[in-house]
Amino acid sequence: MTTRALVTGGAGFLGSHLSERLLAEGRDVLCVDNLYTGSKKNIEHLLANPRFEFMRHDVTFPLYVEVDEIYNLACPASPVHYQRDPVQTIKTSILGAVNVLGLAKRLKVPVLQASTSEVYGDPEIHPQTEDYWGRVNPIGIRSCYDEGKRAAETLFFDYHRQHDLDIKVMRIFNTYGPRMDPADGRVVSNFIVQALRGDDITIYGDGSQTRSFCYVDDLIEGMVSFMRSDRDFVGPVNIGNPGEFTMLQLAQEVIRLTGSTSQVVHLPLPQDDPRQRQPDITLARAKLGWEPQTQLAAGLERTIAYFRGLDRRAKSPTDVSGNS
């Protein structure tokens, strides 16, 4: 019997790749998205597949469907998008979690939460391990996302303890690849778009801040492996690439790979922008046998090729995002 998977946020960057992967495995996919940040362009190549179904729906409202497993990816994930409507962002994380958990409880099916490295905030330990509680500003401009995801994790574990629900909580570190929105303000898309246009590459702060970048195919492999893992392994588990790069190193690599004449300029560091971000993936290696396979240069080359194919007249990246 074919498994039917529900992917909330399925028309987004990660959701579209996950939907594609599940279809390739022979599963039916119900893609749910309100298209606030997702786009039908991300899934247009899937619409003709008879095993793929798209439903426009906001997860802050209950969803009545029949499925065998749930991947909850619904939430704006870039600072530009989640700061545009912070109240809706935190509602999406919390009410969305309540609704998918209620659905999973009714159907008695496993549910995976796409959480985030942002639950660690501006960390005091490096690299970040899953037992670190984080250092998060509860009232800052990023709090709608950070605290929303932290509250969602609380709900998942409370449903697990109180109702014996089969949950998986996955903390995603910076992910990049084809289908990123060129105007979403994330650092990889910002740098690539600026380099291809020959514009100045904007770095927030002195460029010494670090991030660890995971190519989307590796991330999806980790997500699927986690969902298929033993029921008693609920997480949280870090899924990301432990390779650590400064913002200046990333900018220089993008300039090299694009052959751009862009120059680096520095802007003030936004509020609460983390100084370091690197996952400890010891747990993922031990429990899932997973680790990323794609080196940064190879992943950037594929991502640059995707952006070269887009309309060059697309909106310029914004300057309010920081180094996310």
Check residue 58 and give its pLDDT.
96
321 within a domain of the structure (yes/no)? no
How far is it, in rounded angstroms, from Cα 234 to Cα 129? 15
Q: Are residues 138 and 272 in the same domain?
A: no
Using CA atoms, how far apart are residues 75 and 59, in angstroms rounded to an integer?
Answer: 9
Q: Which of 103, 114, 102 is nearest to 9 (CA)?
A: 114
Q: For residue 303, tell me if it sits in a domain.
A: yes
Does residue 288 form part of some domain? no
61 and 102 together in one domain: yes
Residues 6+ apart with CB under 8 A from 164: none
CA Rg value for the chain: 19
Q: Specify if 315 maps to a domain.
A: no
What CATH number is given to the structural domain containing 82? 3.40.50.720
Assess contact for 2 and 26: CB atoms under 8 A: yes
Tell me which residue range forms the domain holding 274. 177-212+242-278+294-308
Residue 53 and residue 31 in contact, taking contact as beta carbons nearer than 8 Å: yes
- Does residue 125 form part of some domain? yes
pLDDT, block means (10 residues), the chain with 324 residues: 92 97 97 94 96 97 97 86 87 97 98 95 89 91 92 98 98 95 88 93 87 96 97 96 93 94 84 75 97 96 94 48 52
CA nearest 88: which of 102, 74, 104? 74
> Same structural domain for residues 119 and 193?
no
Same structural domain, 164 and 193: no
Examine the domain organization and report whether 124 and 273 are in the same domain: no
Q: Which residues fall within 8 angstroms of residue 24, CB to CB, at 6 or more apart?
A: none
Look at residue 313 in the predicted model and tell me its pLDDT.
Answer: 42
- Number of other residues whose CB lies within 10 A of the CB of residue 231: 10
Is the residue at 318 inside a domain?
no
Active-site residue numbers? 145
Residue 317 lies inside a defined structural domain of this protein:
no
Mark whether 140 and 232 lie in a shared domain.
Answer: yes
Q: What is the pLDDT of residue 122?
A: 87
The pLDDT value given to residue 235: 95
